[in-house]
């Protein structure tokens, strides 16, 4: 037993040896994207599959090594890296990093190409490359009839590279590179079948919606840079002392690493609470610079709200969630990888990464939680009446992301990250299952025209069932535990002065659980049980090849076993037990806890759910599922032929049309913007720029040229006479100068 523990606690490659190779994890998929994208057409299908899959497999192996290295405790010495912003003894445990040097610098501003892997990014590395590899494998079969296969795999590899950059970045700017990169890859893949104008439009919609969020993200980054500058000018030794740093070390860190590294921001967060007795606290006004007059706390709230808008764009939250359901226009593996498992969780990752800053602002936290709850409920209600299997799953993704945002907003970062992990497994499984259903049924996506697939697609059915139960929240699957961990934390954490948020969000959470159970059961029952619909496209579905079923089985297996993470098996430092994942993430989240304790902005509770809590959550989920089963197995089949009441039709139509949110946006945003754009086009572009400036310049030049060309007579003696006159004039001028 000790031998096994020792084996897992000793990284096969020592951390300090492995650290310089961290860049390879990004480089491999990038190389794969380059080879597939440039030479893919000549390489042929099989070679492209080989290159793309092996690039991801290589990245997975390296990620595994990196993950192993972050847990290395060989000989009782825990792996640690020096903190550039802290005192010498203040090391970051359970993390490895490597700085490849300055990326760019201007004045005293500097951004380094630094990579950091700790437990949070380590587990995400495994999710991205592991699930990414399964989805690549699945795609080799799913895209077997598509001529654009090389483009597809190039984009997929590019996406993985960008996502890995996002996760491993040790500063905000590099994270933003990955943030934009995944947005671009998502755009390319949603509009993959660009000859269909609806799909091309869906890609554009996703891109434009994301740009709105990205803009907020950039502004927030600028605000943070200004705040760090103000902090480094105003802080006194007590501030630095309370953050475990000193002025010399902190300024040295700023010079070496730049102001936007996460470790530096963490130190600032640690110094900002009131209790430190230093010169700077949340209520201190900033003295100089563009932010002069605003308090640190106020700026921090604004920054976090802007980050929320940025995260809402990427993670499909209100008000920017509208792109995600349309993103289902892309190939199904894309929906599974990008729009369910990885990219859309970037917002949750961002807030976990910046947790120490987030806990400084209860207002921002409450906003995040409420936005998450509202998004989640709205998406769940829309999912009730969608008939497209991928659309239902898309709305359920929005809903689950809302649950993660609730967790982040209430300070249960570990549970949000855990739900991110379990959701990645079961939602990828659900999407790939939906893809398998489509593949075997002539690309039919309408669940009303499927049915009875449990006999024909055994593997797909079994895995879909497992992942449906997982997302529904039925014991003993991972989804139950991760969702319940969030709701428990939400219920027991309290934001300063905003106590109503916990109760409100918790009640919403229970409602969402019931809704989730209802619509997921509906999808499962309509697709797999009952009789085959008479409107089905093909009479008999065929089960997909093992390239597609194997990833399904692995993912279904993972969505069961990840429940281990939620079990209270690890000893807590103050006695008692704590969930594995909380223990696992504690090195990453410790600064946030310290800040929350010092600033008293949020009271974090660490109790584990009691039996009653589990029972309530389980009963709520079960009631939702039972309602769906009753309605779709007993009630509706019995009602066939009878007229539907008018109000039921109206409700269904409203939900089916997504509560007319798209139409609302069309009316209040898109139309006015288009109108202004039309005016600008006609007046500024067509009239001022095109007619007056461009054509005007050409007209004047032409006319002047026509006049001046008369002077060119071709008579050499006339030219010579002019030269002579000019020289004479010069001589006379010189003479006059000399004489006067």
Which of 86, 107, 356 has the alpha carbon at shortest distance from 247? 86
Give me the least distance between CB of 724 and other proteins, in Å please. 6
Q: Quick one: 696 or 730, whose CB is closer to other proteins?
A: 730
Measured in whole angstroms, how far is the alpha carbon of residue 131 from the centre of its chain?
A: 16
How many residues at the interface with other proteins, by CB under 8 A? Answer: 11
Contacts (CB under 8 A) with other proteins, residues 132-151:
none
332 vs 207: CA distance, rounded Å: 19
Give me the least distance between CB of 721 and other proteins, in Å please. 5
What does each C-alpha distance from 524 to 192, 208, 538, 657 come to in angstroms? 28, 33, 19, 22
Give me the least distance between CB of 725 and other proteins, in Å please. 10
Query: Which helix or strand (DSSP H or E) is residue 495 part of?
Result: strand 494-495
Q: Read off φ and ψ for residue 93, nearest 5 degrees.
A: -90, 160
DSSP string, 118-186: EHHHHHHHHHHHHHHHHHHHHHHHHTTT-TTHHHHHHHHHHHHHHHHHHHHBSBHHHHHHHHHHHHHHH
Coil/strand/helix, residue 618: helix
Q: Quick one: 650 or 731, whose CB is closer to other proteins?
A: 731
Give me the least distance between CB of 705 and other proteins, in Å please. 10
CA atoms in the 13 A half-sphere facing the CB of 332:
28
Contacts (CB under 8 A) with other proteins, residues 677-736:
709-710, 712-717, 720-721, 724
Q: Quick one: 677 or 724, whose CB is closer to other proteins?
A: 724
Give me the least distance between CB of 722 and other proteins, in Å please. 10
419 vs 479: CA distance, rounded Å: 7
596 vs 560: CA distance, rounded Å: 33
Print the binding letters for residues 346-365 with other proteins: x by CB under 8 A, - otherwise. --------------------
Give me the least distance between CB of 718 and other proteins, in Å please. 9
Q: Quick one: 1 or 716, whose CB is closer to other proteins?
A: 716
Give me the least distance between CB of 195 and other proteins, in Å please. 53
Q: Quick one: 577 or 727, whose CB is closer to other proteins?
A: 727
Q: Quick one: 564 or 720, whose CB is closer to other proteins?
A: 720
Query: Which helix or strand (DSSP H or E) is residue 381 part of?
Result: helix 362-384
Note whether 561 and 322 are within 8 A (CB): no
Contacts (CB under 8 A) with other proteins, residues 493-532:
none
Give me the least distance between CB of 699 and other proteins, in Å please. 20
608 vs 522: CA distance, rounded Å: 32
Interaction between residue 2 and other proteins (CB under 8 A): no
Q: Quick one: 293 or 730, whose CB is closer to other proteins?
A: 730
Q: Quick one: 2 or 715, whose CB is closer to other proteins?
A: 715
Give me the least distance between CB of 712 and other proteins, in Å please. 5
- Which region holds residue 244: left if phi is over 0, alpha if psi is between -120 and 50, else beta? left
Q: Quick one: 198 or 724, whose CB is closer to other proteins?
A: 724
673 vs 580: CA distance, rounded Å: 50
* Contact residues: other proteins, CB under 8 A: 709-710, 712-717, 720-721, 724
């Amino acid at each position: 037993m000790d031998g096994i523990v020792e084996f897992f606690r000793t990284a096969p490659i020592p951390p300090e040896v492995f650290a310089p190779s961290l860049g390879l994890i990004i480089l491999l998929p990038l190389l794969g994207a380059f080879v597939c994208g440039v030479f893919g057409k000549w390489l042929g299908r099989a070679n492209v599959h080989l290159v793309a899959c092996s690039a991801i497999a290589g990245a997975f192996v390296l990620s595994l090594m990196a993950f192993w290295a972050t847990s290395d405790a060989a000989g009782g010495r825990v792996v640690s890296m020096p903190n550039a912003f802290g005192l010498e003894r203040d090391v970051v445990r359970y993390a490895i990093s490597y700085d490849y040097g300055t990326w760019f610098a201007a004045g005293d501003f500097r951004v380094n190409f630094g990579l950091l892997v700790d437990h949070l990014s380590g587990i995400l590395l495994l999710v991205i490359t592991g699930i990414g590899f399964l989805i690549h494998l699945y795609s080799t079969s799913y895209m077997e009839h598509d001529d654009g296969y090389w483009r597809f795999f190039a984009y997929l590899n590019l996406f993985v590279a960008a996502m890995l950059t996002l996760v491993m970045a040790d500063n905000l700017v590099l994270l933003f590179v990955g943030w934009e990169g995944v947005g671009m890859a998502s755009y390319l893949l949603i509009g993959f079948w660009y000859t269909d104008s609806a799909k091309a439009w869906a890609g554009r919609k996703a891109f434009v919606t994301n740009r709105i969020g990205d803009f907020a993200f950039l502004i927030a980054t600028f605000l943070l840079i200004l705040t760090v500058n103000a902090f480094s000018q105003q802080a006194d030794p007590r501030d630095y002392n309370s953050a475990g740093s000193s002025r010399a070390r902190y300024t040295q860190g700023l010079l070496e690493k730049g102001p936007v590294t996460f470790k530096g921001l963490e130190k600032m967060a640690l110094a900002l609470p009131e209790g430190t007795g230093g010169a700077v606290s949340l209520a201190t006004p900033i003295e100089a610079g563009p932010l002069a007059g605003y308090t640190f706390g106020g700026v921090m709230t604004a920054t976090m709200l802007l980050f929320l808008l940025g995260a809402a764009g990427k993670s499909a939250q209100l008000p920017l969630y509208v792109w995600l359901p349309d993103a289902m226009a892309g190939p199904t593996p894309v929906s599974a990888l990008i729009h369910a498992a990885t990219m859309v969780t970037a917002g949750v990752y961002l807030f976990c990464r910046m947790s120490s800053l987030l806990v400084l602002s209860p207002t921002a936290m409450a906003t995040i939680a409420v936005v998450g709850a509202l998004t989640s409920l709205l998406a769940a209600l829309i999912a009730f009446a969608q008939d497209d299997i991928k659309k239902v799953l898309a709305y359920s993704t929005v809903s689950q992301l809302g649950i993660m945002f609730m967790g982040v907003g209430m300070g249960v970062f570990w549970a949000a990250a855990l739900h991110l992990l379990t959701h990645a497994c079961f939602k990828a499984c659900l999407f790939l299952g939906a893809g398998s259903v489509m593949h075997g049924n002539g690309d039919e996506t309408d669940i009303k025209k499927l049915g009875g697939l449990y006999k024909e697609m055994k593997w797909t059915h079994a895995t879909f069932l497992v992942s449906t139960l997982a997302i529904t929240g039925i014991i003993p699957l991972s989804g139950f535990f991760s969702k319940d961990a969030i709701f428990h934390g939400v219920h027991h954490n309290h934001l300063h002065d905003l106590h109503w948020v916990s109760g409100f969000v918790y009640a919403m959470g229970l409602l969402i659980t019931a809704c989730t159970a209802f619509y997921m059961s509906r999808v499962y029952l309509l697709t797999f049980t009952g009789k085959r619909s008479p409107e089905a496209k093909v009479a008999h579905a065929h089960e997909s090849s093992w390239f597609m079923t194997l990833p399904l089985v692995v993912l279904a297996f993972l969505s069961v076993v990840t429940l281990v993470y939620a079990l209270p098996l690890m000893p807590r430092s103050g006695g008692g037990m704590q969930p594995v994942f909380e223990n696992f993430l504690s090195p990453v989240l410790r600064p946030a806890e310290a800040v929350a304790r010092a600033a008293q902005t949020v009271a974090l509770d660490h109790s584990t759910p009691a039996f009653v809590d589990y029972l309530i959550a389980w009963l709520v989920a079960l009631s939702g599922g039972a309602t769906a089963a009753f309605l779709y197995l007993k009630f509706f089949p019995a009602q066939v032929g009878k007229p539907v009441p008018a109000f039921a039709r109206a409700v269904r139509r409203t939900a089916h049309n997504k509560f007319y949110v798209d139409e609302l946006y069309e009316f209040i945003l898109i139309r006015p913007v288009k109108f202004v754009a039309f005016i600008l086009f006609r007046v500024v572009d067509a009239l001022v720029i095109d007619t007056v400036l461009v054509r005007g310049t050409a007209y004047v030049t032409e006319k002047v040229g026509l006049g001046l060309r008369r002077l060119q007579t071709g008579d050499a003696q006339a030219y010579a006479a002019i030269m002579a006159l000019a020289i004479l004039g010069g001589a006379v001028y010189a003479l006059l100068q000399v004489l006067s």
